[in-house]
Amino acid sequence: MGADKNFDVLIIGFEPGLVTLLSSSLSKLKVNSLTTRGEVEHFLEHYQIGAGSTVFVSTAMQDMPFLEVAQAFSSLFIGVQIVFVTTDRMKFQITDLKKNGFSESFLLPNDMKILTDLIDDIALSKTSGIKKRFKAVKLIDLQAGQSLPFEVSTFLPANNKFITLTSSGQLSEKKFEVLKKKSVNSVYIEANNIEKFYEFAAEQMIALGQATNDGVSQTEKSARLQSNVRQLFRSVLDTSAGTSDFEVGRDLLEQSKAVVSTYVSKKTGLDLKGQLKQVLGEGQDSYAHAQSVSTIACLISMATGIGEPEDLAIAGLFHDIGIQGIAQDVSIFDISKLSEDDRNNYKLHPLVSVNLLKEKRITLTAKISDIILKHHERFDGKGFPEQLAAHRIPQEAYLLAYADALEYLSRPKPGQAKLSSLQMHELISSQLGIAPETLKSIKAFVVV
């Protein structure tokens, strides 16, 4: 069954007893059940799961730990809800579960009612197309009196209820004040408006990055852009563990990625996802590292004024496509662990990436090719592939190297505590060979 593409819900490592327990709810859905490591790996290699889908994981798989399943799915599929289900109280360790990528967890029989409600919700949305869920978003550069192409709600935890703040997209002065106070938190919009929201947010960013004669000075605009980007950026990094609002974190990560790619396509007319697919082949377009690096690099560029944000987004997406075979998930922090052959091979990847793009007829500007080519060069001249001297390395290449390492360090790793932004910054500063002035500008933005 592992190869069946048409399913409503994916269940992994369910023992037969658990399937029986949930059978009346599950019977409303087409279920795809994976029961071995082989089936899981085959699935990960060949299939996509869309944002908003749910994957249920339990503990019955002999040859693959359930935490590893969660890590794999959460790092490959963005915006997918990964839900842990068990009847074994001993395995119900919420901190571990969250740290490894689970978005929700249910201990049966206690949580039977909410779990079956969730499955019934999924069934309802599949059959009627109705999705009741709200999504957490951060509104970019909201101004009083602004008219929005969607309604905005806020959530009252005490009443467990959403209340709408806008009326036909219009925000009153008073409600605007309410929202402003909430700027640290998020607001909610209906899930089916999410595309409109991406468009809106991208347009806001473009407007802030452009010189126009609208009476607002460029200095003020960049200050506004920076503070908005900073908030978005926090949400990109703060999704892995320890936050009380894990679901919100994942929604915001998804949001940042979509906003950045909408931003790039509006500014350059390029369809980044399509282009990446063209280079990598079908079935791999969720190459999560590339997408995250692209997002982080673009946001850092907006906030620091280093380079053009769209150049960094594009370079981020393609920077590692030249890594083939062995070293797919090798970071700059562990190349010393590679065999000599593999290491030499790895050191060529910036060059291979640029050549591969040419071969596939993806035309990039000279600037973008240069950023990709030099993303592993170092200020001390000890980088690769060309061991260039410092003055021949553009600031954007350092910025990309930073985003690359930050993405790697901020990813949840099994059994390891999450690093603070300062710890990540220090590790990057001491090991990557990034020019001091670039480090300085990025630090002001990244370190909380």
Interacting residues with Fe ion (CB under 5 A) = 320, 404
Cβ at position 314, least distance to Fe ion in Å = 14
Question: From CA 160, how far away is CA 140, in angstroms rounded?
Answer: 26
Closer residue to Fe ion, CB minimum distance, 238 or 320: 320
* Residue 366 beta carbon to Fe ion: minimum distance, rounded to whole angstroms: 19
Q: Between 118 and 236, name the residue whose CB sits nearer to Fe ion.
A: 236
Q: Which residue's CB is nearer to Fe ion, number 241 or number 330?
A: 330
Residue 57 bridge partners (DSSP): 12, 84
Taking the least distance from each CB to Fe ion, the nearer of 202 and 323 is 323
29 vs 20: CA distance, rounded Å: 14
DSSP string covering 131-181, please?
Answer: ---EEEE--SS--TT-B-SS--EEEETTTTEEEE--BTTB--HHHHHHHHH
In the bound state with Fe ion, the residue whose beta carbon lies nearer, of 310 and 320, is 320
List, in order, residues 6 or more apart from 76 with CB less than 8 Å away. 44, 286, 288
Closer to Fe ion at the Cβ: 123 or 419?
419
* Closest to Fe ion by CB, 377 or 404: 404
Supply the minimum distance, in Å, between the C-beta of residue 324 and Fe ion: 12
State both tokens at 39.
Answer: 């089936």
Supply the DSSP symbol for 379. Answer: T
Q: Which of 340, 213, 353 is CA-nearest to residue 293?
A: 353
Q: Name the minimum Å distance from CB 346 to Fe ion.
A: 8
**In whole angstroms, how close is the CB of 292 to Fe ion at the nearest point?**
10
Residues 170-184, buried b or exposed e (16+ Cβ, 10 A)? ebeeebbeebeeeee
| Nearest distance, CB of residue 376 and Fe ion, angstroms | 6
Report, in Å, the least distance between residue 334 CB and Fe ion: 12
Least distance to Fe ion, CB of residue 289, Å: 6
Q: What is the spatial distance between Cα 34 and Cα 50, in angstroms, rounded to a whole number?
A: 18
Judged by beta carbon, residue 320 or residue 396, the one nearer Fe ion is 320
Run of H or E residues at 85: strand 81-86
Pairing of strands 9-12, 31-34: parallel
Question: Which DSSP helix (H) or strand (E) runs through 81?
Answer: strand 81-86
What's the chain's length in residues? 448
Rounded to the nearest whole angstrom, what is the least distance from the CB of residue 118 to Fe ion in the complex?
35
Q: Is 297 strand, coil or helix? A: helix
Residue with Cβ nearer Fe ion (170 or 344): 344
How large is the C-alpha radius of gyration of the chain? 23
Nearer to Fe ion, 254 or 404 (CB): 404
Sheet of 134-137: strand order equals 134-137, 187-190, 153-156, 161-164
Cα distance between residue 390 and residue 24, in whole Å: 65
Cα torsion 284, 193, 209, 235: sign:
negative
Q: Smallest distance, Å, CB 404 to Fe ion?
A: 4
Place of tokens 């969607």: 150
